Structure 1
Amino acid sequence: MKNFEFIVLLFGVLFCAVSCSTQNEQRPNIIYIMSDDHTSQAFGIYGSRLAKLNPTPTLDKIAGEGMIFDNAFCNNAICTPSRASIITGQYPQTNGVLDLDGEIAPERQYLPAEMKKLGYQTAMVGKWHLKQEPAAFDYYSVLPGQGDYYNPTFRTRGSKQWPENTIKMTGHSSDCITDVTLDWLKNKRDKSKPFFLMHHYKAPHDMFEFADRYKDYLEDTYIPEPASMYYNGENGSIATRGENDELIHDIGSSIGHRNTIRNMGMHMDIDPNLPDPEYKHLAYQEYLKRYLRCVKGVDDNLERLFAYLKAEGLMENTIIIYTGDQGFYLGEHDYIDKRWMYEESMRMPFFVRYPKMIEAGQRTDAIINNTDFAPTIIELAGGKVPDYMQGHSFKTILETGEEPANWQKSTYYRYWMHMAHRHANPAHFGIRTKNYKLIFFYGKYWKDTRVESNIEGWGNRYGFETPVAWEFYDLKKDPQEMKNEYNNTAYKPIIAELKKQLKTKRAELNEEDADFPHIQEVIDAHWDD
């Protein structure tokens, strides 16, 4: 009898082990890849003026084997808030990260925590930028802050308290980050479990330090230039240009001489005595070559990563997601950096490859944003989206290629860091649909302060307050956003409807300004302007 009971027990244990192992093998691995400031203009698949340069052949191939999203957006085009929304599935006022000073504590690192509940082994490699220890991950090796392009230091888990456990590597950061990920995949992961890996590059963030092997890449190539770099039409308003354009030299860092505080020519070692347009042309050409050399380094390193996955038989059962942490300006409107709600800054590249679910060669214009990433990843792993997440899963879009009838028709955006970091962008919020964009510039920092800038000759002019204005763009008619149509009476009914939707969305998303009465005062005074 005892022998019989033992055999039954043994059989049960073996059956459970086989069943659990089979279940884990069937569940997909998920790799979320994100490059810092890799904008949609710098791909072949998005058909920009740079597509013919073929800067991303590896990524273009992966994208073509899955689904490309043409309307993926961030809710705040700056590193820390965007990453906070991705890791929490929440908007800034809910997760508490409004600007670059924000941080996410381990207990609020919701995405890896939810994935661990589902039986996934989790890892975070590369740029983290959320200050506190990424302790919710089983494994991490992350750059301190922005990190270094060359010979980077990584913070790891160890015997000492965070952030004292570090390793120093030799080489370019894109190479080193890929080396760390490959080492984890080969030697450190538990191969009995599915894995969720966040693989984040520092490149191509400024100041665009590329690996030496790319110094001749594009050297003798003319980089196509955006027309709006030289002629900005009727883009903007008094909030971005000032009365009679009196603020164009102060607001929005530039390529050429327009911005007297920060322009790309200063960083590209262009002779400051040269006048525009020659100065602007030379600055742009050098800027784009350095930027695209960093992009090339990312693309080549991902070829290494994908080659390993193929060699190990992991490629077909691994969901590959690629994106940037926001968009980035490559000279459009004579801007550099990001922060704006305009397209080049707000739009994120985003595509997903998973042959078992997603038919190759698909595109969608369904609107998604970075709060939707975590819910989607959780559902792809077989889980249920937790109620505390504000984003929505678009798993059904990946499965069917169709946008559900009840899918979101718009997305919300807000930039909080008023006139910060010499880029000097006014604070604003707004709503974007597939056809239209409405932006409200309220001209104040989220903290109730009037501390003046410490930049000589700048802060003394207007401190931290700028003019208030609305902007409206018809994106079907004017995809480059060259004409602010807010005062065009033909659009009055559309603008009124968008204001109604914007007000509703701010309430639904916990993005109103009850805690910031100095801002709410401006909103109330100018809502009906």
Structure 2
Amino acid sequence: MRKNFSLFRSLLSLLVIAGACGISVAQTAARPNIIFIFSDDHAYQGIGAYGNKLVKTPNIDRIAREGALLTNNIVTNSICGPSRATLLTGKYSHTNGYKRNDRTRFDTNQTLLSKTLQQSGYQTAWIGKMHLNSLPAGFDYWNVLPDQGSYYNPDFVGQPNDTTHYTGYVSDLITKFSVDWLEKRENTKPFFLIVGHKATHREWLPDLQDLGAYDNVTFPLPSNFYDDYKGRTAAMQQDMSIEKTMRLRQDLKVDVDYEKDGAYKRFTPEQKKVFKAYYDKVGKEVADKKLTGKALTEWKYQRYLRDYFSVANSLDRNIGKLLDYLDKSGLSKNTVVIYASDQGFYLGEHGWFDKRFIYEESLKTPFVIRYPGVIKPGKKVEDLIVNVDWAPTVLNIAGAKIPSDIQGKSFLPLLKDDQTAKAPWRKEAYYHYYEFPEPHHVYPHFGLRTSRYKLAYFYGGADSWELFDLEKDPKEGSNIYGTPGTEKITADLKEKLKALMKEYKDDEALKILAGAKSI
């Protein structure tokens, strides 16, 4: 009896000490910290963990290796601002009100992931790119890039609404500010931190240390680089091709006017000297070769990927710095780390750069997550995950109640391999893109994707259906809509598409679907 009393008194003393130190037993045991690293336009097919053997992404690969990799993580609207709005709301664009990258102000009065976490006892912060025409809401701290931000010597908007100019490369600064906040945060609470990177957004200005990082690599042309877009009206009329749309001066830094071109006015003389010396050689190369036609297009493709992946180097390196800090500080044991991009991106597939289309490279986005002690290292999730699911999953991890107006659902059970993971998961995912005609003349469209098929309807002038059998045609080059033998699957997919529109209350799409041409 005396021994039991002594044990009880010892445990009570430990609890008192923990309380005096401001440490919550529930917090440390069951309420992990969460870091969501969110990049811009980073293609899943440009990451080592997703099978790319030519690029170096060791730190993103590390998160995947030590946690889980999602192979069918797709977005609801493949464009930057709307994807960020979906992360914050767990809702489709037509519901959260942010459909396009325009001057719309994101409605911060609605239910937000950040606000819900705050109410659940989390300290919250957003550092880096936000791009929603509104100041962060539901965040205890923020330091964000105005609009798209700048790669070199960028401005940041801090609290309450103060703009400060900094010297340095944007990826490095975002990491520095993130680590600074982690060191100064209130350590009696679990934290939720969004690290919003500008990389790898156009116009792809690499850090000085990464200039020429891939100059010795010759990237193979995608098999559909010279796609003829047969049977795909919208694809035929787009304006996002490497051949016609990609600009030598602005995009590929050929014959840049360093005094007049806006991005370069931010450079210090020392930065400009190094940057200019490298790209003067690039400009001389294309001038000396006097390239035209396909030769010029293929040269542009090589330069595009070399710049793009050089910018990605800074992104991955800074993810590594953050992971190292978590290790050194002891935070990694109880911190969930997520890496994702706002959407996919074309790396020459169909002859394109950019995103927007429901086709795979744009629709799918990378998502890797490390949750020590919960997610088994090396796990792969092949189920259809949609970015409306991100917010409820984070809330589920945090032990917070998921608001009823969130349209996604938590996929934490799929990550944990627990018994509830055997419950039915979605078999179809819904997509709706709106922005037209600028900047890339991609017709608005909606559609759905299953594990095997994809059905889409382009409207606003294109007025055409597309159907792909992803099992037989993974490159989506053959539109089989209307071909004999597809009637049953087409009718079934249309019914499912209509059901998803009703489920997510996309009334605008329902009206368009009702008047859509059947052929």
TM bucket (normalised to shorter chain) is: 0.7 to 0.9
2:438 pairs with 420, 444, 456, which one? 420
Query: For residues 356 and 238 of structure 1, do their structure 2 counterparts lie closer, same or farther at Cα, with a shift above 3 Å needed?
Result: same
Aligned counterparts of 2:14 and 2:303: Cα–Cα separation in 1? 68
Do the aligned residues in 2 keep the contact of 1:256 with 1:265 (CA within 8 Å)?
A: no
2:515 pairs with 502, 514, 525, which one? 525
Q: CA deviation at 1:39?
A: 0.9
State yes or no: 1:194 paired with 2:181: no
Q: Which residue of 2 aligns with 1:468?
A: 463
What secondary structure does 1:32 align onto?
Answer: strand
Do the aligned residues in 1 keep the contact of 2:463 with 2:517 (CA within 8 Å)?
A: no
Aligned counterparts of 1:328 and 1:432: Cα–Cα separation in 2? 18
Aligned counterparts of 1:185 and 1:436: Cα–Cα separation in 2? 44
Within 5 A, what are the aligned runs for 1:373-412? 373-400=390-417, 403-412=421-430
Q: Which residue of 2 aligns with 1:446?
A: none
Q: Which residue of 1 aligns with 2:223?
A: 227
Q: Which residue of 1 aligns with 2:246?
A: 263
Within 5 A, what are the aligned runs for 1:14-413? 21-26=24-29, 27-47=31-51, 51-101=52-102, 102-108=104-110, 110-158=112-160, 162=161, 165-186=162-183, 188-232=184-228, 234=230, 236-241=231-236, 247=237, 251-257=238-244, 262-265=245-248, 267-268=251-252, 269=254, 274-400=291-417, 403-413=421-431
Aligned counterparts of 1:523 and 1:106: Cα–Cα separation in 2? 31
Do the aligned residues in 2 keep the contact of 1:152 with 1:173 (CA within 8 Å)?
A: yes
Aligned counterparts of 1:265 and 1:490: Cα–Cα separation in 2? 46
Do the aligned residues in 1 keep the contact of 2:96 with 2:107 (CA within 8 Å)?
A: no
Aligned counterparts of 1:156 and 1:69: Cα–Cα separation in 2? 34
Q: CA deviation at 1:500?
A: 0.2
Unaligned 5+ segments in structure 1 are 1-9, 242-246, 444-465
Unaligned 5+ segments in structure 2 are 1-12, 255-285
Please list the CA deviations of residues 118-140 of structure 1 after superposition, one character each: whole Å capped at 9, or x if unmatched. Answer: 11110100001111110310000
Q: Which residue of 2 aligns with 1:244?
A: none
Query: For residues 310 and 263 of structure 1, do their structure 2 counterparts lie closer, same or farther at Cα, with a shift above 3 Å needed?
Result: same
2:472 pairs with 463, 472, 477, which one? 477
Do the aligned residues in 1 keep the contact of 2:48 with 2:57 (CA within 8 Å)?
A: yes
Please list the CA deviations of residues 205-236 of structure 1 after superposition, one character each: whole Å capped at 9, or x if unmatched. Answer: 000011011112111221222121124464x5
Q: CA deviation at 1:149?
A: 0.7
Q: CA deviation at 1:336?
A: 1.3
Please list the CA deviations of residues 76-99 of structure 1 after superposition, one character each: whole Å capped at 9, or x if unmatched. Answer: 011111110110011111111111
Q: CA deviation at 1:506?
A: 0.6
Query: For residues 88 and 189 of structure 1, do their structure 2 counterparts lie closer, same or farther at Cα, with a shift above 3 Å needed?
Result: same
What secondary structure does 1:227 align onto?
Answer: coil
What secondary structure does 2:377 align onto?
Answer: coil
What secondary structure does 1:141 align onto?
Answer: strand
Query: For residues 471 and 264 of structure 1, do their structure 2 counterparts lie closer, same or farther at Cα, with a shift above 3 Å needed?
Result: farther
What secondary structure does 1:316 align onto?
Answer: helix
Q: CA deviation at 1:175?
A: 0.6
State yes or no: 1:506 paired with 2:501: yes
Do the aligned residues in 2 keep the contact of 1:358 with 1:399 (CA within 8 Å)?
A: yes
Identity %: 39
Please list the CA deviations of residues 98-123 of structure 1 after superposition, one character each: whole Å capped at 9, or x if unmatched. Answer: 11123323323611111111111101
Q: CA deviation at 1:166?
A: 1.8
Segment drifting more, 362-371 vs 97-106: 97-106
2:73 alignment partner AA: A
Aligned counterparts of 2:239 and 2:418: Cα–Cα separation in 1? 38
Segment drifting more, 118-127 vs 96-105: 96-105
Q: CA deviation at 1:16?
A: 5.3
- TM-score scaled to structure 2, two decimals? 0.86
Aligned counterparts of 1:138 and 1:409: Cα–Cα separation in 2? 38
Please list the CA deviations of residues 52-96 of structure 1 after superposition, one character each: whole Å capped at 9, or x if unmatched. Answer: 113201111211111110000110011111110110011111111
1:207 alignment partner AA: E
1:435 alignment partner AA: R
Aligned counterparts of 2:152 and 2:188: Cα–Cα separation in 1? 35
Do the aligned residues in 2 keep the contact of 1:42 with 1:55 (CA within 8 Å)?
A: no
Segment drifting more, 222-231 vs 360-369: 222-231
Aligned counterparts of 1:381 and 1:469: Cα–Cα separation in 2? 44
- TM-score scaled to structure 1, two decimals? 0.85
What secondary structure does 1:108 align onto?
Answer: coil
Q: Which residue of 1 aligns with 2:457?
A: 440
Aligned counterparts of 1:467 and 1:525: Cα–Cα separation in 2? 14
Aligned counterparts of 2:314 and 2:157: Cα–Cα separation in 1? 23
1:428 alignment partner AA: H
Q: CA deviation at 1:528?
A: 2.7
Aligned counterparts of 2:73 and 2:352: Cα–Cα separation in 1? 21
Q: CA deviation at 1:356?
A: 1.2
Aligned counterparts of 1:119 and 1:405: Cα–Cα separation in 2? 30
Do the aligned residues in 2 keep the contact of 1:264 with 1:336 (CA within 8 Å)?
A: no
Do the aligned residues in 2 keep the contact of 1:379 with 1:385 (CA within 8 Å)?
A: yes
1:263 alignment partner AA: M
Q: CA deviation at 1:511?
A: 1.3
Q: CA deviation at 1:372?
A: 0.6
